[in-house]
Structure 1
Amino acid sequence: MRDRKKMPWLLTARLLLAGAAVAVPVTFATPASAAPHGCTWTKPDHATARSTCHYGPGQQRVVITCLDGVNGYKYTFYGPWAQWYQNSQVSCAAAYRQNISYVTVEVR
């Protein structure tokens, strides 16, 4: 009689262990390892920024925040996604009255 009660528990324990063996490698996988790195950005003028990454694979883009000198508002502009070895460039919408206040590079 005892053997019948233990049987479902042993089967459940084996299934749980098998599931854990499959799930653990998936949990520790690093999808971000494929993103480009060694990224730099430059500002050719007060309202334009350009970025590139030196090691890949993947894509990158430059993101800028422009400060409007007239109304004091901040606007964010995104450059186009580009391959890690190409340039991504973006400018403020009103270059005659806006200056870049922050630059960063996004990767994927």
Structure 2
Amino acid sequence: MTYHVPRPATAPMPLFNTAPVAPRVARPDSALFGAFVLEITTPDSTLTVPALDGWQLRVWPVARLGDATLEARPVDAHQNAADLVHALHAHGYGTLGPVRTRRAC
């Protein structure tokens, strides 16, 4: 036989944090500088960064389709993905797959 000792009643713990959450304030698109990410083929199949005016570029050798993955951030807020693709083609770089947009927080 087991001896049962009653325990004092306690309130259950809340499942979620009940602190109020401040709403996110939407910023206009002109204030957001998103980055475009795409896969590229280089003119000589080596990892090179294209010299494009008006763009901040970062390249790394991990790619499913091409030679490298390129992340481009426009210096001017009015430049878009079509401008980037046009500038890459003008310098001999090919683009593969979709141009994905990643917004800065």
The TM-score by the shorter chain falls in which range? 0.3 to 0.5
More helix by share: 1
> How high is the TM-score relative to the length of structure 1?
0.40
> How high is the TM-score relative to the length of structure 2?
0.40
More strand by share: 1
